[in-house]
């Protein structure tokens, strides 16, 4: 089948590769403009652009799709035989004039079990909420935010220690597999139950600062959900520390944020309920390290106190 494809990050690139491997002809790839990144702020191409160029596909990077020029670009691809547009984590709104162009419409690969977690950060929100499962929904796009009818939907369990990055990779692979299957069978669309809808708001760096008054279970979910971005953070003696892996444990009740180690090479921090055993962490400007390795050069004694958001360590 001849297709258009719109996507930007690695999640979308996985789907594009699956479509190419399945023998589909991608006549046009849309992706976000190159963005400055790194210390030198050099322009960096998206994962989708890099993959598309590898396969010598036509790539366009409009700033918006709400112009006559963008519509004409997509209309030309449709006139060239493109029957559907596949969309995955593109980052631009598709106006109704664009949605109506392909004969089979625009199909979105969404990383949740719609109608749960419509919006920008469904993977992280599922972990934060303690969901037991998530999945992929292939959706026929309409003018709403992830409100279109569903063509396919498949669930997978969320591992008890799984990070957002690990879950992302599993869902990306599933999304690629499912879009190929959907294009092969073209199932009948099923309307979403709007009453059951929840919204997955975009992540902010501010929300990743740990509140030690929360339970160890809630904080461990934050550590998992914000790995790899933006990283769950706490403050120790004025220094920002990022926690990358942690486990819930029991310990003697102490003021939340207080270090309550009981063995060398470990870091256990009291929470509002229970305690958090930190397994991997990072100092400002340093590397991610296993706790025992970091503590060799940066000891954190029993009784030390991590700050709560915007406040001072507990007295």
Q: Which residue's structure tokens are 């596909």?
A: 57
Show contacts of 211-214: CB within 8 Å, 24+ apart.
211/308, 211/309, 212/256, 212/257, 212/269, 212/270, 212/271, 212/272, 212/306, 212/308, 212/314, 213/256, 213/271, 213/272, 213/308, 214/271, 214/272
Position 113 scores a pLDDT of 98
Per-residue model confidence as pLDDT tens digits over 145-170: 999 999 999 999 999 999 999 999 99
Percentage of residues of the chain with pLDDT beyond 90: 92
Q: Is 260:166 a contact under the CB 8 Å cutoff?
A: no
What is the overall mean pLDDT for the chain?
95
* Mean pLDDT of the 218-241 span: 96
pTM for this structure?
0.95
Sequence-separated (6 or more) residues with CB below 8 Å from residue 73: 28, 60, 62
Per-residue model confidence as pLDDT tens digits over 99-129: 999 999 999 999 999 999 999 999 999 999 9
Does 299 score more than 90 pLDDT?
A: yes
Percentage of residues of the chain with pLDDT beyond 70: 97
> Rounded CA gap, 246 and 237, in Å?
21
Per-residue model confidence as pLDDT tens digits over 77-86: 999 999 999 9
Using DSSP's 3-state secondary structure scheme, residue 218 falls into helix
């Amino acid at each position: 089948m001849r297709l258009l494809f719109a996507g930007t990050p690695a999640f979308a690139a996985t789907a594009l590769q699956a479509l190419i491997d399945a023998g589909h002809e991608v006549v046009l790839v849309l992706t976000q403009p190159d963005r400055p990144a790194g210390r030198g702020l050099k322009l960096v191409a998206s994962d989708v652009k890099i993959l598309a160029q590898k396969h010598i596909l036509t790539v366009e990077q409009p700033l918006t799709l709400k112009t006559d020029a963008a519509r004409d670009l997509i209309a030309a691809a449709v006139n060239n035989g493109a029957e559907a547009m596949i969309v995955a984590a593109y980052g631009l709104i598709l106006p109704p004039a664009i949605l109506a162009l392909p004969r089979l419409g625009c199909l979105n690969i969404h990383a949740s079990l719609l109608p749960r977690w419509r919006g920008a950060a469904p993977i992280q929100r599922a972990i934060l909420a303690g969901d037991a499962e998530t999945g992929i929904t292939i959706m026929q796009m309409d003018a709403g935010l992830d409100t279109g009818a569903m063509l396919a939907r498949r669930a997978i369990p969320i591992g008890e220690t799984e990070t957002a990055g690990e879950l992302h990779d599993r869902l990306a692979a599933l999304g690629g597999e499912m879009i190929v299957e959907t294009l092969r069978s073209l199932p009948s669309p099923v309307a979403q139950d709007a009453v059951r809808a929840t919204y997955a708001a975009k992540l902010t760096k501010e929300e990743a600062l740990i509140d030690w008054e929360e339970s160890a279970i809630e904080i461990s979910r934050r550590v998992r959900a914000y790995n790899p971005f933006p990283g769950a953070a706490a403050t120790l003696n004025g220094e920002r520390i990022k926690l990358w892996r942690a486990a819930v444990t029991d310990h003697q009740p102490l003021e939340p944020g207080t270090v309550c180690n009981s063995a060398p090479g470990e870091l256990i921090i009291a929470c509002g309920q229970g305690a958090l055993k930190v397994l991997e962490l990072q100092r400002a400007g340093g590397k991610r390290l296993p706790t025992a390795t970091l503590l060799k050069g940066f000891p954190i004694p029993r009784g030390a106190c991590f700050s709560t958001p915007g406040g001072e360590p507990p007295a």
